[in-house]
Amino acid sequence: MQTADGARRDIVSVNLGQRTYDIHIGENLLQEAGRYIAPLLSRPFAAIVTDENVARHHLKALEASLTAAGIVSVAIILPAGEKTKGFTALADLCEQLLAAGVERQDKVIAFGGGVIGDLTGFAAAILRRGVEFIQVPTTLLAQVDSSVGGKTGINSAHGKNHIGAFLQPVMVLADTSLLETLPRRELAAGYAEVAKYGLLGDLSFFEWLEANSQILLRGDAQARAYAIHQSCSAKAAIVAQDETEQGMRALLNLGHTFGHALEKATGYSSRLLHGEGVAIGMVQAFRFSEHLNHCKAGTADRVARHLKAAGLPTHMNDIEGPLPPVSDLVNIMKQDKKAQSGKLTFILARAIGDAFIARSVPESAVADFLKEDLKSK
């Protein structure tokens, strides 16, 4: 729908019984955040958790909106970047939330990208044995993926997101206008998660992306809103059926087994953003599927061409600097959360739009594939 000023608005619901919540998608939503948030509060108070970059661009607007709705807020500003997503920052955040007077009935607002959403959600899950939180995602990646579904957590020395909890937000407020301040590299990284939904289960959406990705990345509001709606709808449908990833929700990890290993191998640094790791990982998943004769030759090349056109890396050799030996990468993958009984699990594909869960994949097959893949470019 459109508002009186022509702004586009949409709602996607995540249906989880009494814990059902709405994802509000649209332009200029931040200016009305107070109106959306006020009915959810037990008292007119909320704590905002954000990072330095988001605070510089958008914190005043959120605070003003809350004030206009009669809500007193306190802001906690953390360093930006993946290195914030660890035990030290978690402990510090919990102490700051307690010092701010956050009570069990209060709401905490996660105002940022995936790092802030994951960290804040985990802090909320453990603070006073559980407080509720609201997601206000500011990146494309967070708006289409990490803010939805209730996965929260931090990284460990053993890998990505290995310590955390499931805690669904009570609302997601995705203001598409906030994407205008995103650096191009961050926008492209988020686009990888958009493409993922087409690649894992919706060929027609992927074909739409092939035709419209460039205008989406250049800032076309209608294209962005449609892509975010489709992505959130796809994820909401899967989460509603398998909230805690006992089965089909694992499909949402297409590209992530490879990608998370590469993120750890690069030290969760600016060498490789999460979405970039996912992009490389998705191409590897399709190449590995071809290698195992699950899908026809040329499919991975199509995926790679599309992601490369969006400005994303598509091969391990696109990563600057050295990578560890293949054996080390495989060992990192053995710590993947999808592993069962010490056996590797991958999300592979029969075709674009037809992903499946492959369990008990032999380590030797993965190692042989990675060695070949490193030589292929």
Determine the pLDDT at residue 4. Answer: 46
Q: What is the CATH number of domain 184-375?
A: 1.20.1090.10
Task: Please indicate whether residue 256 is annotated as part of the active site.
Answer: yes
CA Rg value for the chain: 20
Task: Please indicate whether residue 27 is annotated as part of the active site.
Answer: no
- Among residues 58, 160, 196, 249, the one annotated as catalytic is 249
Task: Please indicate whether residue 8 is annotated as part of the active site.
Answer: no
| pTM, full prediction | 0.94
- Among residues 85, 160, 196, 256, the one annotated as catalytic is 256
Fold topology of 9-181? Rossmann fold (3.40.50)
- Write out pLDDT tens, residues 302-347: 999 999 999 999 999 999 999 999 999 999 999 888 888 888 999 9
d(CA 372, CA 135): 42
Task: Please indicate whether residue 53 is annotated as part of the active site.
Answer: no
Judge whether 166 and 152 are in contact, CB under 8 Å: yes
- Among residues 24, 253, 291, 338, the one annotated as catalytic is 253
| Residue 25, strand partner residues | 10, 174
Task: Please indicate whether residue 377 is annotated as part of the active site.
Answer: no
d(CA 225, CA 76): 29
Nearest to 261 by CA among 277, 237, 250, 276: 277
- Among residues 107, 229, 235, 287, the one annotated as catalytic is 235
> Dihedrals φ, ψ of 176, to 5°?
-65, -20
Determine the pLDDT at residue 2. Answer: 54
- Among residues 82, 186, 193, 243, the one annotated as catalytic is 193
User: Is the confidence at residue 290, as pLDDT, over 80?
Assistant: yes
Give me the percent of the chain exceeding a pLDDT of 90: 92
Residue bearing tokens 């020395």? 157
- Among residues 8, 107, 274, 291, the one annotated as catalytic is 274
- Write out pLDDT tens, residues 27-40: 999 999 999 999 99
Q: Can you read off the two tokens belonging to residue 285?
A: 């998943």
Q: Where are the domains of the chain?
A: 9-181, 184-375
User: Is the confidence at residue 353, as pLDDT, over 80?
Assistant: yes
- Among residues 27, 186, 243, 245, the one annotated as catalytic is 245
Task: Please indicate whether residue 151 is annotated as part of the active site.
Answer: yes
Task: Please indicate whether residue 253 is annotated as part of the active site.
Answer: yes
Q: Can you read off the two tokens belonging to residue 91?
A: 């402990």
- Report the pLDDT averaged over residues 273-284: 97
- Among residues 24, 85, 107, 151, the one annotated as catalytic is 151
d(CA 339, CA 360): 8
d(CA 99, CA 108): 13
Task: Please indicate whether residue 274 is annotated as part of the active site.
Answer: yes
Q: Pick the range with the lowest mean pLDDT from 113-122, 347-356, 364-373.
A: 364-373
- Write out pLDDT tens, residues 88-146: 999 999 999 999 999 999 999 999 999 999 999 999 999 999 999 999 999 999 999 99
